[in-house]
C-alpha cells in the first residue's frame, strides 16, 4: 500500500484493537461517512503488513468509489479523514483507560450544567480514590491539585467566596509539591547525563534554580512542621545532592536514613524509584570514593530485597537482577548473591529469565574458581544484545586464562577484537572507551604467563594509575601474581 500516516497508524493496532476500531468507525457518533467504512473494510483484509496490489492508489479508489474515475485529491482527502479517525480512536481508547481523567471531565460537565450537589459528590469520591495510606508522589500531587481546581471552579459558580482562601492555600500547596518533585526528578536525569557525558552547559535555568533555591532551609521548615510529605520531597533532594556532590557523604546518608525510616509510607510504585535512586548514588560514590560504597550499595540491595520492598505483581528488571548479583560478587558475598538469583529467577520476565540467570550463575562459579562449571552456564546464554555478548566473551577469556588454556585464550582474545571492531558503534560509550585498554592488559598478562615476556612493577604502576578499563579488579590481581 502507498505510504501514508493512516497506514503507519493502522500498523500499530493489534488484532483485538482492529476489531474495536471496526466498531468505532461504524458508530454514527464518531463517523457518518460510509466511504470511510468501506475504506477500512478493504484495507484491514491485508493486516498486519498492508501489502497488496489491491491497495495501490488506483485499485483502492475503485474499491471505495466503484464505477467512478480515479481522483488523486479525493483519495488523499479520504485517507486524511481515515487517519483522523484512527487518531480519534487511539485518543478515546487512552482516555477510557484513565479513570481519574474521566471523573475529572465528568465533574467539569456537572459544574457547567449547574448540577453542583452532584459535582460535590463526585469530587468527594474522586478524592477518596486518590487518597490512601501510602504516598503516591507526583501522581497524587497532580490529581489533588486538579480536584482542588475543580472545587474552586465549583465554589465560584456557586458564589461561595468564603471558601476561596482555603482553596487557594490548598492549590498552592499541591502545585508546589508537584513542581518540586517533578523538577527534582528531571534534575536527577540532568545530573546522570552530565556525569556520563562529562560535560555541563555554561548556563541552564534548571541548574540555576538548583543552585539558588535554598532547599535545605525549606526542607528543615517542613520537617519542623512535621509536614506529611516532607520525606518524599527530601528523598529526591538528597538524592540529587548525593550525585552532584559525592565527596560530601552527608547527603548520601541523609537520603539513606530518610528512606530506611519512612519506606512504609510510600507506594511500591514509588519505592522502586527510590531503590534505583539510592543504588545510583551508591555507585557514583563508589566511582569517586572507593569500595566503602560498594558495601553500601550491597547493603541497600539486601535491605530492599529482605524487606520485600518491590512490586511482586510486576516482573523484576533483568538488568537490576544482574546488577544486584554483580554488586554482591564485588563485595564477595557469594552465598547471598547465589541465593538471590536462585530465588528471583522466577520473578524475571519469561523471555529473559534463563538468559540472565545463566549469565549470573557463570559469574558466581567463576568467583568460586569453578571455571568449568562457569563455562557450562555461559554455553547456555543466548546473545540478545552486544553488551551481554561482550560480557560473556570476557568471562570466557577469564575462565580459559585461569584454566591455563593458552591457545583458547589467544583465540578468544582475537575473536573479541573482531567483535568489538564490528560492533563498536553499538556498544555503550563507557565500554567503547575502555575495551581496548582492557584487551591490551589481558594480552600482556597472557604473554607474561604463557610466553617469555615478563611483567615488572612499572606495568603494575601503569595499570593502577589507570581506571579506564573493564575487569579492573581481576586484571590487577593477575598482574600482581605475575611479578
Tell me whether residue 389 is in a domain: yes
Tell me whether residue 39 is in a domain: yes
DSSP codes of every residue in 48-96:
TTT--GGGSHHHHHHHHSTTSPP-HHHHHHHHHHHHHHHHHHHHHHHHH
Burial level of 209, CB count in 10 A (0-12/13-18/19+)? exposed
Please tell me the distance from the alpha carbon of residue 192 to that of residue 244, in angstroms, as a whole number: 9
Tell me whether residue 425 is in a domain: yes
- Sign of CA pseudo-dihedral 181, 182, 185, 190: negative
Tell me whether residue 205 is in a domain: no
Place of cell 570514593: 289
- Nine-digit cell at 410? 589467544
Q: Which of 77, 96, 115 is the last residue of a domain?
A: 96
Tell me whether residue 475 is in a domain: yes
**Residue 167: per-residue pLDDT:** 86
Contacts of 369 (CB under 8 A, 6+ apart): 402
Q: 23 vs 8, 48, 86, CA distance in Å?
A: 20, 18, 12
Q: What letter would DSSP give residue 316?
A: P
Q: String of b and e for 305-334 (b: at least 16 CB within 10 Å)? A: beeebbeeeeebbbebbbbbbebbbbbebb
> Domain range holding 447?
383-483
pLDDT per residue as tens digits for the range 312-329 = 888 888 988 999 999 999
Spatial contact of 16 and 91, defined as CB atoms under 8 Å apart: no
Q: Which of 59, 79, 96 is the last residue of a domain?
A: 96
CA-closest candidate to residue 276, choices 236, 249, 330, 247: 236
Tell me whether residue 75 is in a domain: yes
Tell me whether residue 376 is in a domain: no
Tell me whether residue 477 is in a domain: yes
Q: 245 vs 222, 233, 251, 277, 405, CA distance in Å?
A: 23, 18, 8, 15, 46
Q: Following CA atoms 146, 152, 157, 158 in sequence, which dihedral angle do they give, to the nearest 10 degrees?
A: 130
Please tell me the distance from the alpha carbon of residue 39 to that of residue 244, in angstroms, as a whole number: 57
- Nine-digit cell at 26? 461504524
**Residue 314: per-residue pLDDT:** 85
CA-closest candidate to residue 293, choices 339, 255, 348, 342: 255
**Residue 38: per-residue pLDDT:** 94
Q: Which of 52, 76, 96 is the last residue of a domain?
A: 96
Other beta carbons within 10 Å of 344: 20
pLDDT tens across the length of the chain (483 residues): 556 889 899 999 999 999 999 999 999 999 999 999 999 999 999 999 888 888 899 999 999 999 999 999 999 999 999 999 999 999 999 999 999 999 999 999 999 999 999 999 999 999 888 875 455 678 889 999 999 999 999 888 888 877 778 889 999 999 999 999 999 999 989 988 887 777 888 899 999 999 999 999 999 999 999 998 999 899 989 989 988 887 788 998 998 999 899 888 777 777 777 788 788 888 878 877 778 889 999 999 999 999 988 888 888 889 889 999 999 999 999 999 999 999 999 999 988 889 999 999 999 999 999 999 999 999 999 877 888 899 999 999 999 999 999 999 999 999 999 999 998 888 887 788 889 899 999 999 999 988 878 888 998 999 999 888 999 989 999 999 998
Please tell me the distance from the alpha carbon of residue 243 to that of residue 238, in angstroms, as a whole number: 9
Total domains in the fold of the chain = 2
Amino acid at each position: 500500500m502507498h505510504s501514508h500516516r493512516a497506514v503507519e497508524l493502522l500498523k500499530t493496532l493489534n488484532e483485538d484493537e482492529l476489531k474495536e476500531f471496526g466498531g468505532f468507525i461504524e458508530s454514527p457518533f464518531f463517523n457518518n461517512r460510509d466511504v470511510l467504512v468501506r475504506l477500512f473494510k478493504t484495507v484491514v483484509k491485508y493486516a498486519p503488513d498492508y501489502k497488496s496490489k489491491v491497495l495501490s492508489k488506483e485499485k483502492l479508489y475503485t474499491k471505495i468509489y466503484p464505477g467512478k474515475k480515479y481522483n488523486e485529491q479525493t483519495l488523499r482527502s479520504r485517507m486524511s479523514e481515515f487517519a483522523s479517525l484512527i487518531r480519534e480512536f487511539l485518543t478515546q481508547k487512552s482516555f477510557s483507560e484513565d479513570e481519574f481523567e474521566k471523573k475529572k471531565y465528568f465533574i467539569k460537565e456537572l459544574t457547567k450544567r449547574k448540577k453542583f450537589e452532584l459535582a460535590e459528590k463526585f469530587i468527594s469520591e474522586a478524592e477518596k480514590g486518590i487518597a490512601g495510606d501510602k504516598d503516591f508522589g507526583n501522581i497524587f500531587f497532580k490529581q489533588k491539585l486538579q480536584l482542588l481546581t475543580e472545587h474552586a471552579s465549583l465554589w465560584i459558580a456557586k458564589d461561595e467566596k468564603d471558601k476561596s482562601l482555603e482553596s487557594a492555600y490548598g492549590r498552592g500547596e499541591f502545585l508546589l509539591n508537584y513542581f518540586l518533585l517533578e523538577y527534582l526528578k528531571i534534575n536527577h536525569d540532568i545530573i546522570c547525563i552530565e556525569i556520563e557525558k562529562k560535560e555541563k552547559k555554561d548556563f541552564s535555568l534548571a541548574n540555576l534554580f538548583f543552585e539558588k533555591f535554598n532547599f535545605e532551609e525549606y526542607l528543615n521548615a517542613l520537617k519542623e512542621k512535621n509536614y506529611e510529605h516532607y520525606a518524599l520531597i527530601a528523598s529526591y533532594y538528597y538524592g540529587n545532592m548525593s550525585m552532584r556532590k559525592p565527596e560530601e557523604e552527608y547527603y548520601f546518608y541523609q537520603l539513606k536514613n530518610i528512606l530506611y525510616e519512612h519506606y512504609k509510607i510510600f507506594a511500591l510504585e514509588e519505592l522502586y524509584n527510590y531503590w534505583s535512586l539510592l543504588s545510583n548514588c551508591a555507585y557514583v560514590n563508589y566511582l569517586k570514593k572507593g569500595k566503602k560504597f560498594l558495601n553500601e550499595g550491597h547493603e541497600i540491595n539486601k535491605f530492599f530485597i529482605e524487606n520485600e520492598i518491590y512490586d511482586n505483581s510486576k516482573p523484576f528488571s533483568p538488568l537490576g537482577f544482574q546488577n544486584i548479583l554483580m554488586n554482591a560478587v564485588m563485595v564477595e558475598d557469594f552465598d547471598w548473591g547465589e541465593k538471590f538469583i536462585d530465588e528471583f529467577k522466577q520473578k524475571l520476565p519469561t523471555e529473559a529469565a534463563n538468559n540472565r540467570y545463566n549469565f549470573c550463575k557463570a559469574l558466581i562459579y567463576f568467583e568460586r574458581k569453578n571455571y568449568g562449571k562457569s563455562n557450562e552456564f555461559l554455553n547456555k546464554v543466548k546473545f540478545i544484545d552486544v553488551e551481554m555478548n561482550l560480557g560473556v566473551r570476557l568471562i570466557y577469556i577469564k575462565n580459559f586464562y585461569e584454566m591455563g588454556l593458552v591457545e583458547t585464550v589467544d583465540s578468544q582474545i582475537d575473536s573479541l577484537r573482531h567483535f568489538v571492531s564490528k560492533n563498536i558503534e553499538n556498544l555503550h560509550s563507557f565500554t567503547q572507551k575502555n575495551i581496548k585498554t582492557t584487551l591490551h592488559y589481558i594480552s600482556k598478562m597472557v604473554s607474561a604467563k604463557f610466553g617469555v615476556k615478563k611483567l615488572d612493577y612499572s606495568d603494575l604502576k601503569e595499570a593502577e594509575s589507570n581506571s579506564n578499563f573493564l575487569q579492573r579488579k581481576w586484571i590487577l590481581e593477575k598482574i600482581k601474581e605475575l611479578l
